[in-house]
Structure 1
Amino acid sequence: MIRINDRDEIEWEKGLTISGLLERFRYTFAHIIVKINGEVIPRKQYPTRAIPDDADVWVIHLIAGG
């Protein structure tokens, strides 16, 4: 099981990458930070970084204002 933003849960799939998860949930914001089990993952790893089973994933979109 993978928990997303402490709100959603999906079944774990072998080989599911961060990019795959973002596509599945239609996260399209330009500036997104992803944390897996408390670790901030560099954007360049999104296409190749597999999400482990029982992961706690946070997807945070940055918004600037003024």
Structure 2
Amino acid sequence: MVKINGKEAADVCGMTVSQYLSANNYNPKHIVVELNEEILPKTEYDSTAIADGDVVEILSFMGGG
């Protein structure tokens, strides 16, 4: 089982991080991906596959004042 942003995610094992982000309409320029409590460099999104047991957090930046 994979958890993404605290929720169980089905059918994502084997997808690369880039594929997941694209399939879910995330803009990689505006987010940071944390994989198993470590920030994943953007250069590794294409080569990192999501595996059973992974915990993924997708963090977006918000501006405000």
**TM-score, normalised to structure 2's length?**
0.81
CA deviations 1:3-61 (Å, max 9, x no partner) are 110034223433x1110110121112632110111011001111111122111100011
The code of the aligned residue for 2:43 comes to K
Structure 2, unaligned runs of 5 or more: none
**TM-score, normalised to structure 1's length?**
0.80
The code of the aligned residue for 1:25 comes to N
Aligned to 2:36: 37
The code of the aligned residue for 2:4 comes to I
Is 1:32–1:59's contact at 8 Å kept on the other side of the alignment?
yes
CA distance 1:29–1:63, change in 2 (3 Å): farther
Structure 1, unaligned runs of 5 or more: none
The code of the aligned residue for 2:6 comes to D
Is 2:21–2:28's contact at 8 Å kept on the other side of the alignment?
no
Aligned to 1:5: 5
Percent identity over the alignment is 31
Aligned residues: 65
